[in-house]
Structure 1
Amino acid sequence: MPGDSTRRYPLELKQRAVRMVAEIAGEHESEWAAMSRVAELLGVGTAETVRKWVRQAEVDTGTRVGTSSEESAELRRLRRENAELKRANAILKAASAFFAAELDRPSH
Protein backbone atom coordinates (compact mmCIF):
# COMPACT_ATOMS: atom_id res chain seq x y z
CA MET A 1 0.00 0.00 0.00
CA PRO A 2 1.29 3.51 -0.69
CA GLY A 3 2.22 5.40 2.45
CA ASP A 4 2.69 2.32 4.66
CA SER A 5 6.18 3.48 5.61
CA THR A 6 4.74 6.52 7.38
CA ARG A 7 1.75 4.73 8.88
CA ARG A 8 1.45 5.08 12.65
CA TYR A 9 0.39 2.10 14.71
CA PRO A 10 -1.03 2.36 18.24
CA LEU A 11 1.39 1.54 21.06
CA GLU A 12 -0.92 -1.24 22.25
CA LEU A 13 -0.67 -2.96 18.86
CA LYS A 14 3.13 -2.74 18.90
CA GLN A 15 3.29 -4.18 22.41
CA ARG A 16 0.89 -6.97 21.46
CA ALA A 17 2.96 -7.82 18.38
CA VAL A 18 6.15 -8.03 20.47
CA ARG A 19 4.44 -10.33 23.00
CA MET A 20 3.02 -12.52 20.22
CA VAL A 21 6.43 -12.93 18.57
CA ALA A 22 7.88 -14.09 21.90
CA GLU A 23 4.97 -16.46 22.46
CA ILE A 24 5.00 -18.15 19.04
CA ALA A 25 8.73 -18.01 18.21
CA GLY A 26 9.22 -21.63 19.29
CA GLU A 27 6.44 -22.78 16.96
CA HIS A 28 8.24 -21.46 13.86
CA GLU A 29 11.50 -22.37 12.13
CA SER A 30 12.91 -18.89 12.80
CA GLU A 31 12.21 -15.66 14.61
CA TRP A 32 11.66 -14.04 11.20
CA ALA A 33 8.95 -16.60 10.39
CA ALA A 34 7.24 -15.77 13.71
CA MET A 35 7.47 -12.04 12.92
CA SER A 36 6.00 -12.64 9.47
CA ARG A 37 3.10 -14.59 10.97
CA VAL A 38 2.40 -11.91 13.59
CA ALA A 39 2.46 -9.19 10.91
CA GLU A 40 -0.06 -11.20 8.92
CA LEU A 41 -2.30 -11.90 11.93
CA LEU A 42 -2.36 -8.27 13.10
CA GLY A 43 -2.58 -6.67 9.65
CA VAL A 44 0.77 -4.92 9.98
CA GLY A 45 2.28 -3.82 6.66
CA THR A 46 5.44 -5.97 6.74
CA ALA A 47 7.36 -8.36 8.95
CA GLU A 48 10.20 -5.79 8.92
CA THR A 49 7.95 -3.40 10.86
CA VAL A 50 7.36 -6.08 13.50
CA ARG A 51 11.10 -6.84 13.57
CA LYS A 52 11.85 -3.17 14.34
CA TRP A 53 9.30 -3.19 17.17
CA VAL A 54 10.82 -6.35 18.65
CA ARG A 55 14.37 -4.96 18.45
CA GLN A 56 13.29 -1.63 20.02
CA ALA A 57 11.52 -3.52 22.82
CA GLU A 58 14.75 -5.45 23.44
CA VAL A 59 16.68 -2.16 23.69
CA ASP A 60 14.03 -0.63 25.96
CA THR A 61 14.17 -3.61 28.34
CA GLY A 62 17.96 -3.65 28.36
CA THR A 63 18.41 -6.98 26.59
CA ARG A 64 19.93 -5.34 23.50
CA VAL A 65 22.39 -2.45 23.19
CA GLY A 66 21.05 0.70 21.59
CA THR A 67 19.19 3.93 22.17
CA SER A 68 16.01 3.44 24.17
CA SER A 69 12.71 5.00 23.13
CA GLU A 70 12.94 7.29 26.16
CA GLU A 71 16.43 8.45 25.17
CA SER A 72 15.31 9.02 21.57
CA ALA A 73 12.37 11.13 22.73
CA GLU A 74 14.65 13.19 25.02
CA LEU A 75 17.13 13.69 22.16
CA ARG A 76 14.34 14.93 19.85
CA ARG A 77 13.09 17.29 22.58
CA LEU A 78 16.59 18.66 23.18
CA ARG A 79 17.18 19.17 19.44
CA ARG A 80 13.92 21.14 19.15
CA GLU A 81 14.83 23.21 22.21
CA ASN A 82 18.34 23.85 20.82
CA ALA A 83 16.90 25.01 17.47
CA GLU A 84 14.50 27.37 19.28
CA LEU A 85 17.33 28.79 21.40
CA LYS A 86 19.45 29.35 18.27
CA ARG A 87 16.55 31.25 16.66
CA ALA A 88 16.08 33.36 19.79
CA ASN A 89 19.82 34.07 19.94
CA ALA A 90 19.84 35.19 16.29
CA ILE A 91 16.93 37.56 16.99
CA LEU A 92 18.69 39.00 20.03
CA LYS A 93 21.92 39.52 18.06
CA ALA A 94 20.02 41.35 15.30
CA ALA A 95 18.22 43.54 17.85
CA SER A 96 21.48 44.28 19.64
CA ALA A 97 23.15 45.34 16.38
CA PHE A 98 20.14 47.53 15.51
CA PHE A 99 20.16 49.33 18.86
CA ALA A 100 23.96 49.73 18.83
CA ALA A 101 23.67 51.41 15.40
CA GLU A 102 20.94 53.70 16.74
CA LEU A 103 23.15 54.75 19.66
CA ASP A 104 26.10 55.47 17.34
CA ARG A 105 23.98 57.69 15.04
CA PRO A 106 24.39 61.48 15.57
CA SER A 107 21.31 62.99 17.17
CA HIS A 108 21.14 66.35 15.31
Structure 2
Amino acid sequence: MVSGPYPLELRRRAVHAVLNTRDQYPSEWQAILANSERFGIRTAETLRTWVRKAEADGEHDAAEATATPSTVEGNVGPGAAPAAPQPSDIDRLNGENAELRCTIGRLAAVVALLADELNRQIPDV
Protein backbone atom coordinates (compact mmCIF):
# COMPACT_ATOMS: atom_id res chain seq x y z
CA MET A 1 0.00 0.00 0.00
CA VAL A 2 1.02 3.56 -0.67
CA SER A 3 2.43 5.63 2.17
CA GLY A 4 0.38 8.45 3.63
CA PRO A 5 -0.83 9.89 6.90
CA TYR A 6 -1.90 6.46 8.19
CA PRO A 7 0.64 3.84 9.32
CA LEU A 8 0.83 0.69 7.22
CA GLU A 9 -0.12 -1.51 10.20
CA LEU A 10 -3.28 0.53 10.81
CA ARG A 11 -4.20 0.16 7.14
CA ARG A 12 -3.70 -3.59 7.25
CA ARG A 13 -5.73 -3.97 10.43
CA ALA A 14 -8.56 -1.79 9.14
CA VAL A 15 -8.76 -3.69 5.84
CA HIS A 16 -8.62 -6.99 7.70
CA ALA A 17 -11.43 -5.83 10.01
CA VAL A 18 -13.65 -4.87 7.06
CA LEU A 19 -13.03 -8.16 5.30
CA ASN A 20 -13.80 -10.14 8.44
CA THR A 21 -16.87 -8.20 9.55
CA ARG A 22 -18.65 -7.22 6.35
CA ASP A 23 -21.02 -10.18 6.59
CA GLN A 24 -22.19 -8.83 9.98
CA TYR A 25 -23.58 -5.67 8.37
CA PRO A 26 -26.47 -5.14 5.94
CA SER A 27 -23.98 -3.86 3.34
CA GLU A 28 -20.25 -3.68 2.82
CA TRP A 29 -20.45 0.12 2.92
CA GLN A 30 -21.89 -0.01 6.44
CA ALA A 31 -19.03 -2.30 7.48
CA ILE A 32 -16.58 0.20 5.99
CA LEU A 33 -18.30 3.13 7.76
CA ALA A 34 -18.22 1.34 11.12
CA ASN A 35 -14.58 0.29 10.79
CA SER A 36 -13.40 3.67 9.52
CA GLU A 37 -14.87 5.23 12.66
CA ARG A 38 -13.43 2.47 14.85
CA PHE A 39 -9.92 2.99 13.49
CA GLY A 40 -10.11 6.80 13.39
CA ILE A 41 -9.90 7.06 9.61
CA ARG A 42 -11.27 10.45 8.59
CA THR A 43 -13.29 9.32 5.58
CA ALA A 44 -14.83 5.95 4.89
CA GLU A 45 -13.91 6.41 1.23
CA THR A 46 -10.24 6.14 2.20
CA LEU A 47 -10.84 2.76 3.82
CA ARG A 48 -13.00 1.64 0.87
CA THR A 49 -10.09 2.43 -1.45
CA TRP A 50 -7.69 0.39 0.70
CA VAL A 51 -10.12 -2.55 0.72
CA ARG A 52 -10.51 -2.44 -3.08
CA LYS A 53 -6.74 -2.26 -3.56
CA ALA A 54 -6.17 -5.16 -1.18
CA GLU A 55 -8.78 -7.24 -2.99
CA ALA A 56 -7.28 -6.41 -6.39
CA ASP A 57 -3.75 -7.17 -5.23
CA GLY A 58 -4.79 -10.28 -3.31
CA GLU A 59 -3.03 -8.76 -0.29
CA HIS A 60 -5.75 -9.70 2.17
CA ASP A 61 -5.19 -13.41 1.47
CA ALA A 62 -1.42 -13.07 1.86
CA ALA A 63 -1.74 -10.89 4.94
CA GLU A 64 -3.94 -13.46 6.68
CA ALA A 65 -1.57 -16.30 5.82
CA THR A 66 1.57 -14.49 6.95
CA ALA A 67 0.19 -12.52 9.89
CA THR A 68 2.67 -12.25 12.73
CA PRO A 69 1.50 -12.41 16.34
CA SER A 70 1.45 -9.09 18.08
CA THR A 71 3.05 -8.44 21.40
CA VAL A 72 -0.10 -8.21 23.44
CA GLU A 73 0.15 -8.92 27.12
CA GLY A 74 -1.18 -12.38 27.81
CA ASN A 75 0.24 -14.06 24.70
CA VAL A 76 1.93 -17.23 25.74
CA GLY A 77 4.55 -17.50 23.05
CA PRO A 78 5.32 -17.38 19.34
CA GLY A 79 2.24 -18.04 17.26
CA ALA A 80 -0.16 -17.20 20.08
CA ALA A 81 -3.19 -15.24 18.93
CA PRO A 82 -3.38 -11.64 20.09
CA ALA A 83 -5.92 -10.97 22.79
CA ALA A 84 -9.10 -9.39 21.46
CA PRO A 85 -9.73 -5.92 22.82
CA GLN A 86 -12.54 -5.80 25.33
CA PRO A 87 -15.53 -3.58 24.55
CA SER A 88 -14.79 -1.53 27.67
CA ASP A 89 -11.25 -0.87 26.40
CA ILE A 90 -12.56 0.18 23.00
CA ASP A 91 -15.14 2.48 24.58
CA ARG A 92 -12.50 4.00 26.87
CA LEU A 93 -10.09 4.55 23.98
CA ASN A 94 -12.82 6.02 21.78
CA GLY A 95 -13.66 8.44 24.59
CA GLU A 96 -10.02 9.42 25.00
CA ASN A 97 -9.71 9.84 21.24
CA ALA A 98 -12.74 12.16 21.16
CA GLU A 99 -11.32 14.22 24.04
CA LEU A 100 -7.97 14.54 22.28
CA ARG A 101 -9.62 15.63 19.04
CA CYS A 102 -11.56 18.32 20.93
CA THR A 103 -8.38 19.48 22.67
CA ILE A 104 -6.54 19.68 19.36
CA GLY A 105 -9.39 21.75 17.90
CA ARG A 106 -9.30 24.15 20.83
CA LEU A 107 -5.52 24.47 20.65
CA ALA A 108 -5.68 25.20 16.92
CA ALA A 109 -8.23 27.95 17.60
CA VAL A 110 -6.03 29.48 20.32
CA VAL A 111 -2.99 29.42 18.05
CA ALA A 112 -4.98 31.18 15.31
CA LEU A 113 -6.13 33.86 17.76
CA LEU A 114 -2.61 34.39 19.09
CA ALA A 115 -1.19 34.62 15.57
CA ASP A 116 -3.84 37.19 14.66
CA GLU A 117 -3.08 39.22 17.79
CA LEU A 118 0.66 39.06 17.09
CA ASN A 119 0.11 40.27 13.53
CA ARG A 120 -1.81 43.27 14.86
CA GLN A 121 0.93 44.16 17.35
CA ILE A 122 3.83 44.04 14.90
CA PRO A 123 3.91 47.16 12.67
CA ASP A 124 4.36 46.64 8.95
CA VAL A 125 7.94 47.24 7.93
TM-score, normalising length: structure 1:
0.49
Comparing both structures, which one devotes a greater share of its residues to helix?
Answer: 1
Q: Which has the larger radius of gyration?
A: 1
